[in-house]
Structure 1
Amino acid sequence: MSVRAVDLVTCRRFLLCPPCFGLAVGWLTLLLAAVLPADSLSAATSNRPNLIFILADDLGYGDLGCYGQELIQTPRLDQMAAEGMRFTDFYAGNTVCAPSRSVLMTGQHMGHTHVRGNAGGPDMSIQSLREQDFTVAELLKSAGYTTGLCGKWGLGDEAPGGRSGLPRRQGFDFFYGYLNQVHAHNYYPEFLWRNETRVPLANEVQRMDRTYGGFTGGWATKRQEYSHDLIAGQALDFIRENAKEDSPPFFLYLALTIPHANNEGTRATGNGQEVPDYGPYADRPWPDPDKGQAAMVSRMDADVGKILDLLAQLNIDQNTVVMFSSDNGPHDEGGHDTERFDPAGPLRGMKRDLYEGGIRVPMIVRWPAKTPSGTTSDHVGYFGDLMATAADLAGVKCPDNVDSISFLPTLSGHPDQQKEHEFLYWEFYEQGGKQAVRSGNWKAIRQPWGTGDTALYDLSEDLGETQDVSDQHPDQVERMQAMMDRAHVSHPDWQPRGRLPAQSP
């Protein structure tokens, strides 16, 4: 059995029992107070930074001004990049939602993590984290952090088979938002979840004929309460409530739904980019879905700015690490013209591709006390690295059974001390199955899975993956295929051949 992050508590159920866990933390505090000088104990608890991870949904590598976007206004994220660090070679866990988030939460790449695709069907067990899965939230909770999730979860559900993955069974003290992915399509839903309780909203929804995990999606015929605004407001409240001087550090996972389309709304009205108003784009000579796409991204940008402003107002910005990224590449599901905004920038592909446009994502980190401002890093990292980085930030041991390397040295301005991955690995179970691996500047894609040809690209010369050079470098192809074979560990729920899960929402 692998060693967990903290050896004090070895029973996971014990961690999930608030009275027992609180008693254990109290005992530990008393023990440390007895054996350590008071100033040492104070330093040990006060020097750990807060951590906020903001995740956009289907935001492309080229959707932000600081990554080359020219039509959509993102002044606050551009400012965040100017005040922090912008990563050029950072990757999502996968090219669609649930598996990407599983990689983020577990620190395990696609060949190891439990949730490897969007499941479909009534049984949500294969898309839900299990009791034995260990998350970043559990790691930080065990280190004394207060943990909160606002937004879209997608790794546990009220449906049969999904309850083991509910957020508060996976390390979060507080949850507000969506559990089910198709529910999260609708920006004007009839309810949201607060912990395990449905909170009714004033919207009225026309149901469609498609269910996902027992939930039937739809689009609103009466629009009163916009879910993104509610989720952003809850995130601000969580920060306020946990910013008191004597409060422990906090971890906030803000999993926004913007700019994901309401796919049911697209089918019903032709416009899945739901937003209360078109803001600065109202008078542009564009179709409404284009205005909606741009307005959604700018609305998200403004709310990131509200978070940064609140941290400054509360005088905790110096000791708060804020990370911003996206769960995968850009979508083309909302009725908007993707060519207008060029959301993948210089990259090839989009969501559901294993080309760079499907998996390379924006990553911005702001930590005024440690991270050099206005810097750009070409460190090759990915979602799984959050686990080791969070462990370093919290001063605890990272679990052994993860595929995670801390990028804290890079964040702290010490790139010479940064460890690197031998390779990054992805696998995807739709469209016949496909695999990809990056090692150094080499990128290989094999499709269909295991039996298809392997294309090879030199990203240092061909960022757009336009020239397959596999014929010129058969040795590299063989090396990359061996990495794919080594990275994949078979899973009974996810088979590269035979039955494939339903197409992602």
Structure 2
Amino acid sequence: MTRTTSRRDFLARSAAATLPLTLAAQRRTRPNVLILLTDDQGYGDFGCHGNPVLKTPNMDRLHSQSVRFTDFHAAPMCTPTRGQLLTGQDALRNGATSVTAGRAVVRKDIPMMPGIFAAAGYRTGIFGKWHLGDNYPYRPMDRGFERAVYHLGWGFSAAPEFDNDYFNGRYRDQGSLRRFSGYCADFWFDQAMDWMRGQRQPFLCYLPTNTPHTPAWVEEQYAAPYRKPGLPAEFFGMIANLDENLGRLERFLAASGLRDNTIVLLITDNGGTGGTRFYNAGLRARKMELYEGGHRAACFVRWPGGGFGSPRDVAVPAQMQDLLPTFLDLCGVAAPAGAAFDGRSLAPLLRGTAADIGDRMMVVQYGQIPRKWDSAVIWGKWRLVGGNELYDLASDPGQVKDVAMANPAIAARLRDHYEEWWSGVAPRLGEFAPISLGAPQENPVELTSSDWQDVYCDNAGHVSNAVGGPRGGPWAVSVERSGAYRISLSRWPPWQKLALNAARPPQAMTKGELPAGKALPIAGARLRVAGQDLSQPAAAGATTVEFVVRLEAGTRTNLHAWFQDAAGNDLAGAFYATVLRLGA
């Protein structure tokens, strides 16, 4: 199972040798765009950011060659960041406000980066973590990626990837289930390089890895150097693996002639996680929190042929929403008619033609159920946290001293900005983007508890312990075609073929274990959809309870299903549902 660096180098050199020497010359002058987004790597998880133990030589080298935005902000959680990156809009405006609970998709009327670039003649590909919708019309190929190699949910052991493994696991190829060999991060990089190698038009390559997010599974050769008291060996090992893959990617770009005309962006998706107890670059808090350590992110941008000038730090506050308008400027791509961005182009800062991009305030907010004032407002050196705490990062980068009382005018201006901003996003916060049923693009549709409205039940542990209350939550759905539909409800992932009332034994993985899951005395199920309220008993030993209903095209409704015991008491939501249109 263990790969060797020498084998990788051989493959990279062999691949480069097959490329025409004039490959770069064959391509037009518009630059390629390559986005590397790592998952749960914190601002302090880089050698170049001062980590005293973690070795990231290839990331450090890219840092030394780039324009670095040192006051750059993501959302404090991954899906909102991904939506902001790809739409240029705040999470509460585009709809992708959380990682679950029916709020992990961008509304389909909002244009996204891959679709915009595809319309401008770019080839578009994603290789890795999408996490902006598992079902039509929100999958990556529905939103503009012509090549989509990805996994479902937030990662391996998410509800839709319940027992997936970082080694020799499952992935989706244009929506179809496939298996990969080796380690997941290696596979994403391999696929991205293979795809870029074959392009003869400008391309947008999106490489969002699912590591170093938990579960912390990695080959021992990467974790071993960090097996010391107080160090997160597996977490640091996953970053070491990513760093090695970045080195492979850099050698590929250089050997293929793509390096000079490819904009390379390295970003992280939220605040720190596994490494914060050891080193957090002086920042307060971590992922999911509203202090600086929850949303300060790395952002390195390199374009050797783009006239950026010398590598340097840029201290102007910037945010994930700025990147789409920036790439449109740099690549000469027009925004769609009516497109609206919360971000601003950073192109003048990258090119060195301006020292700032104008005075502005930025709002950091996300949430399973977004609530007013659960936010951080950024204005230069100032941070308003939670609507009442004020910090001056110029004198207090660790956010130790609340200075709101000493600066009432500043706090008032930040609150006024937030009030105006909230009034613009609040009207649509109660809307859920519906999953299509019966569409030719996806039939059957596999639904999971990750998309229950306003219920947090998105991983194998949640499913195993039957969280979510006695009825779980409903799915927002829209019927594309009239007809008879079979709805099959499962307690466990359907592919495991476990009985509805069975316990689930622990499952050994390559580098870890999935815990056991508890049995429920399921005797039947109840289904509510499109005005129909139905009950159905479960056959002895059955793995599903099935309903056949008629649904009419154009119906937008909730599909709500849950399990009951023999006395009719509610037990738990249906964690998995397969909806198949049988015919007219």
Asked if Structure 1 and Structure 2 have the same fold, meaning a TM-score greater than 0.5 normalized by the shorter chain, the answer is: yes
Which residue in the other structure is 1:296 paired with? 238
Tell me which structure has the larger Cα radius of gyration.
Answer: 2
The answer to whether residue 322 in structure 2 is matched with residue 322 in structure 1 is no
Partners of 1:394 and 1:493 in 2: how far apart? 36
Which residue in the other structure is 2:167 paired with? 188
The answer to whether residue 341 in structure 2 is matched with residue 402 in structure 1 is yes
**Offset at residue 396 of structure 1 (A):** 2.5
Within the candidate set 172, 175, 189, 2:148 is matched to 175
Measured at CA, do residues 310 and 163 of structure 1 come closer, stay the same or move farther in structure 2, by a change above 3 Å? same
Within the candidate set 85, 109, 118, 1:104 is matched to 85
**Offset at residue 431 of structure 1 (A):** 9.3
**Offset at residue 288 of structure 1 (A):** 10
Q: Which amino acid aligns with 1:474?
A: P
Q: Which amino acid aligns with 1:232?
A: F
Which residue in the other structure is 1:166 paired with? 139
1:10-89 aligned within 5 A: 46-89=28-71
* Matched position secondary structure for 2:277: helix
Cα pair 2:41 2:271 within 8 Å, conserved: yes
* Matched position secondary structure for 2:125: strand
**Offset at residue 393 of structure 1 (A):** 2.0
1:108-257 aligned within 5 A: 108-120=89-101, 124=102, 126-157=103-134, 162-183=135-156, 186-188=165-167, 190-201=169-180, 225-242=182-199, 247-257=200-210
Q: Which amino acid aligns with 1:320?
A: T
Identity %, equivalent residues: 29
**Offset at residue 356 of structure 1 (A):** 0.6
Structure-1-length-normalised TM-score: 0.75
**Offset at residue 322 of structure 1 (A):** 0.1
**Offset at residue 141 of structure 1 (A):** 0.9
Partners of 1:106 and 1:392 in 2: how far apart? 15
Which residue in the other structure is 2:392 paired with? 458
Partners of 1:181 and 1:284 in 2: how far apart? 26
Cα pair 1:107 1:403 within 8 Å, conserved: yes
**Offset at residue 291 of structure 1 (A):** 1.7
Measured at CA, do residues 331 and 313 of structure 1 come closer, stay the same or move farther in structure 2, by a change above 3 Å? same
* Matched position secondary structure for 2:232: helix
* Matched position secondary structure for 1:415: coil
Q: Deviations over 1:271-292 (max 9, x none)?
A: xx1102233x525552698221
Q: Deviations over 1:63-117 (max 9, x none)?
A: 111111111110011111111222211111x111111111111100134121111
Q: Which moved more, 1:364-373 or 1:95-104?
A: 364-373
**Offset at residue 316 of structure 1 (A):** 1.5
Q: Deviations over 1:472-491 (max 9, x none)?
A: 11111111111112222112
Unaligned runs of 5+ in 1: 1-42, 202-223, 263-272, 447-452
Within the candidate set 370, 380, 384, 1:444 is matched to 384
**Offset at residue 255 of structure 1 (A):** 0.3
Which residue in the other structure is 1:22 paired with? none
Partners of 1:237 and 1:70 in 2: how far apart? 35
Partners of 2:395 and 2:292 in 1: how far apart? 14
Q: Deviations over 1:406-462 (max 9, x none)?
A: 11122223233x42351111223259851111011111011xxxxxx5100111111
Pairwise CA RMSD: 2.6
Q: What is the aligned length?
A: 402
Measured at CA, do residues 54 and 474 of structure 1 come closer, stay the same or move farther in structure 2, by a change above 3 Å? same
Which residue in the other structure is 2:456 paired with? 502
Measured at CA, do residues 504 and 58 of structure 1 come closer, stay the same or move farther in structure 2, by a change above 3 Å? farther
* Matched position secondary structure for 2:388: strand
**Offset at residue 339 of structure 1 (A):** 2.4
Cα pair 1:89 1:380 within 8 Å, conserved: yes
Measured at CA, do residues 307 and 358 of structure 1 come closer, stay the same or move farther in structure 2, by a change above 3 Å? same
Higher helix proportion:
1
Unaligned runs of 5+ in 2: 1-24, 159-164, 433-452, 460-584
Measured at CA, do residues 289 and 430 of structure 1 come closer, stay the same or move farther in structure 2, by a change above 3 Å? farther
Partners of 1:394 and 1:364 in 2: how far apart? 18
Higher strand proportion:
2
Partners of 1:421 and 1:61 in 2: how far apart? 25
Cα pair 2:97 2:370 within 8 Å, conserved: no
* Matched position secondary structure for 2:94: coil
Partners of 2:283 and 2:231 in 1: how far apart? 23
The answer to whether residue 214 in structure 2 is matched with residue 274 in structure 1 is no
Measured at CA, do residues 463 and 501 of structure 1 come closer, stay the same or move farther in structure 2, by a change above 3 Å? farther
Partners of 1:173 and 1:345 in 2: how far apart? 39
